[in-house]
Structure formats: structure tokens, C-alpha cells
Structure 1
Amino acid sequence: MDSTPQNSTALQDFLLDAQDLLTKSQECLQHLELIDNDPDACQCLGETLDLLARRADTLSLLEIAHYTRTLQQLLAPACSQRHLRGEALPALDACLTLLAWQLELVDPRTGRLGLDMQEQHLLLTELATSLGQPATQLCEPCQEVGRFCSHPPTHEFGSDGIGATSDCEH
């Protein structure tokens, strides 16, 4: 990560809240495993991931923010079209497990997460494939250099869940 949060108290608060939000996300997943495509569980999951991404953005935790936002954006069309079931649920579980692991590895003093993005990209691609969606999480120049976009991607999903774009200007 290139930036350091300005306030270590805010980072500590984020890490505590992030654990709670992650637990809530995992509970939503468990609910979806019991009741396929439950709209309340989907909505809860989307809102929880959105809140986590926004909080990470506020502290410039780019890897966490990007991964969480991409995860949320992959799930949104699947939830609205009631396609969040079957093989997508284990893929979603793997994504949430990686997120939990990454939150544990964020340096509580600096906010840095010194990992490559390969596993994130792989898991997001697997989830996208299981949902029948394209797996374009990073703009092409950022993929080539192997880093996260420092700018937020804008995903404009049509009713079919296809059509991700990026605001990248490299």
C-alpha cells in the first residue's frame, strides 16, 4: 500500500469495525447457504460490503477497499437477478476468508498490507465465473504492472450484469 492512514486511532477503530462487518457478511453467507437467493441476506451482504469498502477508502486502505468494492459489485447483479446460489457460494466463502486473512495482516500502526494482488484477482475471477459475469477487476495498465488501481473503478452494470468500465487514465 502506498499510503499511510493519517490517524492510527481511526485505523484501530476501522480494524475493529471491519471484523464486525466481516462477521456480519459471513452470517449473510450462512443464511444464503440455508435459503438460496434470500433477498434480505443479499441486501445485508451488499450493504455490509459497501460500508466496509467506504470505510477502507476513507483511510486509504486501497487493497481492502478495492477488493471489497469489487466483491460487492460482482454480487449486486447476482442478487438482483436471484442467481446467488450453488457453486457461487463456496467461491464467495473463499473471497470472505481471504478478506478476513487480509484484515488480520493489515499493520495496525501504518495500515499497510504488503501482499500481492494475485490471490484476490484469482478468487474474484472464480466468483465472477461462477456467477456468469466478466472478470475485469482492474484496468489493463494496472494489471500489466501488477498493482491495484489507485483510482476507483466505475462499474456500470446493465440488467444482465455485464459492462464494467474503469476511470483509469494511465
Structure 2
Amino acid sequence: MRIDHKVWAQRFTEFQVEAELLLAKTEECLTHLQLISNDNDAIDCILSTLLKLASKADALALAAVSGFSLHIHSVLSHAHHHMPLHDEALGALKDCLTLIAWQLELIDQNTGQLFLDDSEQTELIEAFAFQVGQRQFQPPMNAKPFTLVGLAAHA
């Protein structure tokens, strides 16, 4: 199947706008959590927003963003049910969200590729997992790896 690069570029531009809105929403919810710790509505907001972001990224074959969003979702979902989120955990979550925003800026708009290794994603997700009591982060069985795949891989 051949991909129309012009259509993809338009869809990517729309994705970037929507992703920025989704990330702004997660920031609002995170700020709320910093004021009122363990507010279920704020946590649920972040969880649902991460799923939307992952789904939108996956639709454009942006595996690094999609996979990282799903991993953050997994850690937060597990933590939410097992322990209160303290300031260090919220700081680690903020670092993860900041990396997503940064990655969105670095995606090549012509190819869809993100030319970074996954070491920073791995470090941040492990730090977040550690802060919420997961001694060794294990991604969910159905989660995608952090592998960086661009548009060219789907052409």
C-alpha cells in the first residue's frame, strides 16, 4: 500500500494541534493533582488523555509517541490503584509528559520519523515506576515497544 505523503503531512499537522491540546489537558490535570493529591477525576483525565494521544499517534504510525504514552498510562493506572501519588511521583510523571511534548516537536514532518534512541524514554518511565513503588517496570503484554518507526516503514 502506497502512502500519499501530502495527505499524511496534512494529517500530521492536524495531529500536532490535537496533541498539543491533549498535552495541555494533562498538564492541567497534573497541576490539579499537585494541589489535591490523588484526585480520582484528575487521574482519570490523565489516563484517558494518554489513551487518546496514543491512539492518534498510532493512527499515524508514530510508534515512539504511541508506545511511550501507553507505558506511562500503564504505570499511572497501576499506581493509581495501589498507592497515593506523592510529589516525587508527580514530578516523574511531569518529566514523562514533558518528553512527549519535546518529541512531538522533533518528529520529521516529511517522514514521520523521530531520530532519537529510546534511552531517555526508558529512564523516565523507570524513574516514574520506581516513584510509585514498582521496583522493576514491566510493560503490559499488549503494549508496543519503544521502537522508533517512521512513515517510510509503512510505505
Q: How does 1:104-123 map to 2 (within 5 A)?
A: 104-123=105-124
Please, what is the CA RMSD of the aligned residues? 2.4
Q: For 1:13-42, what per-residue CA distance to the aligned partner results, in whole angstroms no more than 9, with x for missing partners?
A: 111100110111111110000000000000
Q: Where is the helix percentage greater, Structure 1 or Structure 2?
A: 2
Taking structure 2 as the reference length, the TM-score comes to 0.83
Give, in whole Å, the separation in 2 of the partners of 1:86 and 1:4: 46
- The answer to which structure, 1 or 2, has the higher relative contact order (CA under 8 A, 6+ apart) is 2
Which of structure 1's runs of 4+ aligned residues deviate more than 4 A?
A: 3-6
- In structure 1, list runs of 5 or more residues that go unmatched: 151-170
Q: Identity, % of aligned pairs? A: 39
Q: How does 1:1-170 map to 2 (within 5 A)?
A: 7-133=8-134, 134-137=136-139, 148=147
What is the aligned length? 142
Deviation at 1:91, TM superposition (A): 0.5
For residue 153 of structure 2, what is the aligned residue in structure 1? none
Give, in whole Å, the separation in 2 of the partners of 1:113 and 1:4: 19
Give, in whole Å, the separation in 1 of the partners of 2:28 and 2:86: 15
Give, in whole Å, the separation in 2 of the partners of 1:103 and 1:149: 13
Task: Verify the 8 A CA contact 1:121 1:137 in the aligned structure 2.
Answer: no
Task: Verify the 8 A CA contact 2:74 2:140 in the aligned structure 1.
Answer: no
Taking structure 1 as the reference length, the TM-score comes to 0.76
Q: For 1:123-154, what per-residue CA distance to the aligned partner results, in whole angstroms no more than 9, with x for missing partners?
A: 00000000111313499xxx9xxx6288xxxx
